[in-house]
Each structure stands twice: as structure tokens, then as C-alpha cells.
Homo-oligomer: A and B are copies of this chain.
Amino acid sequence: MKLQISALALVAALASTSAASAADAPSAAHLAAMKKLVASGQYKTAVAKLTSDYDRIVADLVTLTEIPAPPFKEQTRAKAYMEMLKAHGLSDVEMDAEGNVMGLRRGTGPAGGPLLVVTAHLDTVFPEGTDVKVRREGAKLSAPGIGDDTASLAVDLGLIRAMDAAKIKTKGDILFMGNVGEEGPGDLRGVRYLFSKGKYKDRIKYFISFEPGRERITNAGVGSKRYHVTFKGPGGHSYGAFGLVSPAYAMGDAMAQFGKIQVPAKPKTTYTVGLVDGGTSVNSIPFAMSMTVDMRSEGKAELKTEEDQFLAILPKAADAENATRSTANGKITVDNKLIGDRPVGATPMDAEIVQVAAAAVAAGGGKPSFGASSTDSNIPMSLGVQAVTLGAGFEAERAHAPDEYLTLDKPSDLQHMAIGLATVLALAGAEVR
């Protein structure tokens, strides 16, 4: 889960990504259809099941939270979640080659038709060795990763049980998934695989990623480019070899020049030097220094322009250093490694998935909060597949911090899980009575 920007900023952002204004969702027709769905007996039965299942959902999220899932090390949690998917009676339960786990809830339509993906990500930002034991003080449950995104995995299982309890059938198949690689270094590898090599890749009509929160409808994906840049040189003794070129001055110059880049406020475009590292000792001219850079934009062209400006700075900084000091023992060179590449994308406001999600929030007594963020939905959005990232129902705080926690609030939690249920049912073509 990445920080979501405000609806206000989004109006401007969407203007640039050719989506309609926030005022258009939900349409009267979508709201009316949704109101009919949530008034049905079967939906009410399903919500009753969610309610009676509340403690189990909480128990599941504690179980899953306590299985560490650092980036690229999600396998233990993935296997546990795969067993849970099997126990929920899904068909074709499997782990794909990237490490995603998934199973189908078959619809009434012919096999192989369009499907809805409902996913939450397995990975957390926390490294191996982090204490992930859940501490409970009253309604407050604390543990790294408990909200982002472990709680959503447990909620999705609750949705399956609720649909089953109410004997709800859908026209289309629903692929329930726990995916890998959403956080930083994972670079969306799980969902990227799903859409590039996964066996369902040509069948996905709608894509929902559940993340912590309530009433959020993330329908624009902030694109990002991340680079690890290393300046290299001959190095040497700080005193004996003084006068030789140094990666330190080249990198310092590049950092300073990068800080001068002008970016548009709309579409929002940002950059940062996140990390620096390097050198041999206090009394050595470094032979290598590195920096890690993050660039983001809601605009595809703006992200490209920013990236081009950044990439042009690097050789200039190396050249300037080579022109300033001696290259007798070697020149300063610069290596760029693209370590993150999240496409810009958006799902238009008039797309069915946005209309349905907004109608479910409104019919459920809430107020849709549209926004742009960088989540698993970036991948389908960039491919033109209708996708949204929605709040699963629990309200979590301090995501990405060791003191992450969520506060249980049963009536409100259930109200918002029911909104998610309604969204899933409507998109999968539920045949409710």
C-alpha cells in the first residue's frame, strides 16, 4: 500500500489522464442497481455470515501476520494462504512460478470466460528477523504488517465464506489470490507476472486489489522509476593519491543538480534521493559511491521527461569530475540500474468497475474517496484492464512503521467489509434473490 493522494489533487490528475470528474460516480443507474443488490435476501444472509464470522476473520489475520513475509521471502506465508484457499473449497488452487497463490470460485458461465480477480498482497515491507508477534491491548492489535496488507487476506477469505453461506452464484469466475511483490523492491512482480505470463492473463476483465482502509477507491496509478546509480573511479589514498578523480564529487554534483529539476504540480510529479552509500575509509578516495533514486508521476509523459533529465545529469557529472581532476589512474564512470518500474495508469471514472465500487460505497452508507496511488492495480491500469484498489474494511495506522496497528471497531469494520462484498458480487454478476 502506498500513500494515496487526496481527491482534490486527483481531480487535477485525472484531467490529465482523461478520466471523468469525480462528480460522475456513481451514476444514478449504478446506484439503483446496487441498492437492489444490497436489499436482496441472499446479500443480507451473506452479511449476517460476515458478522458471525468476525472473530474468525480477526483470528485469521493474526495467524497470517505472525508468518513473516519479507519482500522476496513470502513463500511460507504463501503456502499457508494456499492451504486456506483450498480449505475454502476453491478449484484450481495453485502457486504460480512467481509465487502467487490463487484459486477459482467458479461461476455459472462457461469455463474460460472473463473473470474478476480479487487479491491482496502477501508481502510486507519488513525484513527478515522482524518480530511479527501480534500484541493485543483492548481493541488495538499491533504488529508490523498487520494492516498492510495482511488484514485484507483474511477479509477476502471471509467474503468467500459469506458468499457460500448465502449460496450466492455469480455468472463469472472469481479468482481469489494472495500475490507476492507489491512492496518496494518487489516492484509489483506478482501482479506483473499474472498479467504477462500467468495462465489467466487473457481472461481478466476486472481487477480488485484490497488494501487497508475504508471507502477508498484508487482508480489512478502513480507511475514510478527507481534507479540505483553507482559512480566508480580508481580510488586511492586520501593523501598520497590526492588529485585523482573522486566519485564523491561527481555524485555530490549529480545530487545537487537533481535537486534543481523543475517538475509540474499537475500531474503530480516527484523525485527523491532516498539512499546514499559508499567509500572505503575516512582516509581513502572512494572507488565507488552509490545513490538510490525514486521518481514518480501521475503523467506518463511527465515521468518520461523527468527520467530523461535525471539520466542526462549523470554522465555530465562524471564528465565534469574527469575534467576537474586527474584521470591518470582511471576515469569516473557511472552505472545506472533500473530497480523499479511501475507504469502510470488510470481507470476512467465512467468505467464499470469504478461505477460499481462507488455505488457500493454510497449504497453502504459511505462516501467514495477517489485517489491516485502506487499499488498492484498500476499493472492492469497500464494495460487498459479495469482495476481499482479498494479498502478492505479495517482501518490501519502507521503502515511501513514497526509500530503498525489496527483498531478493531466491529460495526464499522463489518459495514465496510459488506461494501467490498457488494462490489465483488456486482462485478462478478451475482444472481441474487
Contacts and interface: CB of A to CB of B under 8 A. Distances in A.
Contact of A256 (B3, B185, B256): B256
A318 to B, nearest CB: 13
A296 B255 contact: no
Interface string A228-262: 00000000011110100010110111111011000
Interface string A265-301: 0001011111111111111111001011110100000
A296 B238 contact: yes
A226 interface: yes
Nearest to A286: B274
A181 interface: no
A189 to B, nearest CB: 15
A374 interface: yes
B292 A282 contact: yes
A291 B289 CA distance: 11
Contacts of A242: 268, 270-272
A254 B271 CA distance: 20
A281 B286 contact: no
A141 interface: no
Nearest to A339: B282
A281 B251 CA distance: 18
A76 interface: no
A293 to B, nearest CB: 8
Interface string A1-16: 0110100000000000
A324 interface: yes
A184 interface: yes
Given A239-B222, A240-B5, A248 B272 contact: yes
Interface centre among A5, A242, A258 (most CB of B within 10 A): A242
A345 interface: no
A271 to B, nearest CB: 8
What is the copy number of this chain in the assembly? 2
A185 B291 CA distance: 26
A103 interface: no
Nearest to A297: B239
A279 B292 contact: yes
Given A246-B259, A249-B259, A252-B253, A276 B279 contact: yes
Size range of the interface on A?
A: 35 or more
B253 A256 contact: yes
Interface string A54-81: 0000000000000000000000000000
A374 B324 CA distance: 27
Contacts of A258: 249, 252
Contacts of A224: 283
A48 to B, nearest CB: 39
A292 B268 CA distance: 35
A340 interface: yes
Given A274-B286, A294-B238, A340-B282, A252 B249 contact: no
A79 to B, nearest CB: 28
Contacts of A240: 3, 5
A279 B290 CA distance: 12
Contact of A270 (B239, B249, B291): B239
B276 A239 contact: no
Contact of A239 (B3, B252, B278): B3
B270 A275 contact: no
A152 to B, nearest CB: 21
A248 B226 contact: no
Given A222-B239, A226-B283, A253-B259, 18 more contacts: A3-B239, A184-B282, A224-B283, A238-B274, A242-B270, A248-B255, A248-B259, A248-B276, A251-B252, A251-B276, A252-B254, A252-B259, A274-B279, A274-B285, A276-B276, A276-B277, A276-B278, A282-B294
21 contacts: A125-B281, A184-B281, A238-B272, A248-B255, A248-B276, A249-B259, A252-B252, A252-B256, A252-B259, A253-B259, A255-B255, A273-B286, A274-B279, A274-B280, A274-B285, A274-B286, A275-B281, A275-B286, A277-B277, A282-B339, A282-B340
